[in-house]
Amino acid sequence: MPSLEELQALMRSRLTAVGISVDGGVPTRRNHDRAAQSFSQRIVWAHQQRVPDSTANNICLAFTFTGVVDETALRRALLGVVERHEILRTTYHTDDDGSYYQLIHTDLPIRVQTLDLDDAPASTERLSELIAEAATEPFDLAGESSIRLTFVRLTADADGQPRLAVVIAMQHIIWDGMTLPAMARDVERFYAQAIANPDGALEIPPLSPQVADFAEWEQDRFAADDHASDTAFWEDQFRDISTTVLPYDRRPESVSERSARMDRQLSDHAESVLRSLSSELRVPPFSVFLAVYYLALRRITGQRDILIGTTVANREEVGMEALIGNFSNSIALRIGTDGAAFADLVADVRAVTDSAFGHRTFPFEHLVEVARRITGDPQAQPFDTLVLFIDQELQGPQLPGVSSTWELAHKGRALLPLAVETFMHADRTEVQISYQIDLFEPSTVERIHDNIEQVLSDATADRPLSDLLPADLVTSGGVQV
């Protein structure tokens, strides 16, 4: 029989899963209709103010359901999600004194469109066009919801099963990498209700805390805390190092956000090495992949000391896993090693990430200030390349009697010169590299892909690093000549 403590832990877990706070971690905000913006929101809002037509922060997911779907019930379910999550009924603004704030609306209609391509020739190709259009339409963060829905009826599959696509376009100000599970749970719950009671109102359980509660709490906490330790740590990361590492093909005076994306799947051998080294060295796959990416860059830059960015979720507070929202923060990882073998490099990478994660809540806007002050470069960014690694299967809504797939659309704009997003599935690992086309030729990105594949394929725990680097780097002491 479980103990009282175990029962209490189970109850906390279940309450947390539906977004009900069970302790006083994040208090309810002081003003129901208005709150300060969180640091994550501030970054996105400030960029959109500078570049109003930017779509670099757009996120577009396309879900395709095969089987019999009650379209009306699914529409009601998604609108139920909008009703439950205040963040989907929020607009963003700046006070006369320059302070950023958000307004939470009782009712903020979202755009919902329906297209019928059931009888249209090449409906799949037309869907691809619709997804591209949705991904590249800017959002007015001050005047509209940050989510749009498009329902697309497609021709049946080869077995005669009906198909329905739902294209969800969003702005990054409401979305991070861990939002999909929260949305999927709510859609599944409300869809079941809508099926069971087509004429009745949905039962929308209260959600606490909401994103605006977190934002106000975060700003209050930051204002009250002492940041000397965080500041000192990040100052050390930017001392005596260049924040620009990538092998640019061009350096124009002005760089647009125009981007392309090059996707590859790791070979079976490289993927097997990634998993086996993670197990053998008892580290997350992210640590192994980051070590590989470091060597891939070192092979073509000759630099030993390299800054690589990554993003952390910062969803530790009770109830936050149930929220749709952007809680992410970007941090810099300074990687360099004197180790002899690949296992030494992985250990160094793990130590670097552990140390940096200890200061993960230090806001990115302040990280930029530190980088510029320490480097003496008023235009410096903390890094020019970033790695995201997802090693858990993220599924969209699972509807009864229906199979589903989803894809992340390329939006044609990027904030960073180069970003690597790696998705580890049960049976494969995909590596997507987005790059600004004003700076890079496709051949350079292909070379980075090649280096990742080759280093990973050749790596073993005891493999000397000298075997994984070009001979001229080794003989020149790490500086390409």
**Is 37 or 124 the better-scoring residue by pLDDT?**
37
For residue 249, what are its two tokens?
A: 């093909």
Instruction: Label residue 393 by pLDDT band (50, 70, 90).
Output: confident
For residue 171, what are its two tokens?
A: 């702005």
24 has pLDDT over 90 = no
278 has pLDDT over 60 = yes
Neighbours of 290 (CB within 10 A): 26
Alpha carbons within 13 angstroms on the beta-carbon side of residue 10 total 6
pTM of the model: 0.89
Give the pLDDT score at 53.
Answer: 93
Q: Sign of torsion, CA 191 196 202 206?
A: negative
Give the pLDDT score at 17.
Answer: 53
Summarize the confidence of residues 5-34 as an average pLDDT: 64
Among the ranges given (120-124, 210-214, 366-370), the one the predictor scored with the smallest mean pLDDT: 120-124
Q: pLDDT tens-digit profile of 206-228?
A: 999 999 999 999 999 999 999 99
CA distance 289 to 213: 36
Give yes or no for a contact between 299 and 470, defined as CB atoms under 8 angstroms apart. yes
Summarize the confidence of residues 98-115 as an average pLDDT: 96
For residue 192, what are its two tokens?
A: 């079941």
**Is 125 or 88 the better-scoring residue by pLDDT?**
88
283 has pLDDT over 50 = yes
Percent of the chain with pLDDT over 90: 84
Q: Sign of torsion, CA 97 98 100 104?
A: positive
Summarize the confidence of residues 58-85 as an average pLDDT: 97
472 has pLDDT over 70 = no
Summarize the confidence of residues 286-303 as an average pLDDT: 96
4 has pLDDT over 80 = no
Instruction: Label residue 392 by pLDDT band (50, 70, 90).
Output: confident
280 has pLDDT over 90 = yes
Summarize the confidence of residues 176-182 as an average pLDDT: 91
Hey, which residues does 478 pair with through a beta bridge? none
Give the pLDDT score at 120.
Answer: 75
Summarize the confidence of residues 37-49 as an average pLDDT: 96
Q: pLDDT tens-digit profile of 322-347?
A: 999 999 999 999 999 877 999 999 99
Instruction: Label residue 475 by pLDDT band (50, 70, 90).
Output: very low
Summarize the confidence of residues 187-214 as an average pLDDT: 95
Among the ranges given (62-76, 164-178, 265-279, 462-476), the one the predictor scored with the smallest mean pLDDT: 462-476
Among the ranges given (368-372, 455-459, 467-471, 473-477), the one the predictor scored with the smallest mean pLDDT: 473-477
Q: pLDDT tens-digit profile of 235-248?
A: 999 999 999 999 99
Average pLDDT value over all residues in the chain: 91
Give the pLDDT score at 13.
Answer: 54
2 has pLDDT over 60 = no
64 has pLDDT over 70 = yes
Among the ranges given (163-177, 302-316, 459-473), the one the predictor scored with the smallest mean pLDDT: 459-473
Summarize the confidence of residues 426-449 as an average pLDDT: 96
9 has pLDDT over 50 = no
Three-state SS for the chain is CCCHHHHHHHHHHHHHHCCECCCCCCCCCCCCCEEECCHHHHHHHHHHHHCCCCCCCEEEEEEEEECCCCHHHHHHHHHHHHHHCHHHHEEEEECCCCCEEEEECCCCCCEEEEEECCCCCCHHHHHHHHHHHHHCCCCCCCCCCCEEEEEEEECCCCCCCCEEEEEEEEEHHHCCCCHHHHHHHHHHHHHHHHHHCCCCCCCCCCCECCHHHHHHHHHHHHHHCCCHHHHHHHHHHCCCCCCCCCCCCCCCCCCCCEEEEEEEECCHHHHHHHHHHHHHHCCCHHHHHHHHHHHHHHHHHCCCCEEEEEEECCCCCCCHHHCCCCCCEEEEEEECCCCCEHHHHHHHHHHHHHHHHCCCCCCHHHHHHHHHHHHCCCCCCCCCEEEEEECCCCCCCCCCCCEEEEEECCCCECCCCEEEEEEECCCCEEEEEEEECCCCCHHHHHHHHHHHHHHHHHCCCCCEHHHHCCHHHHHCCCCCC
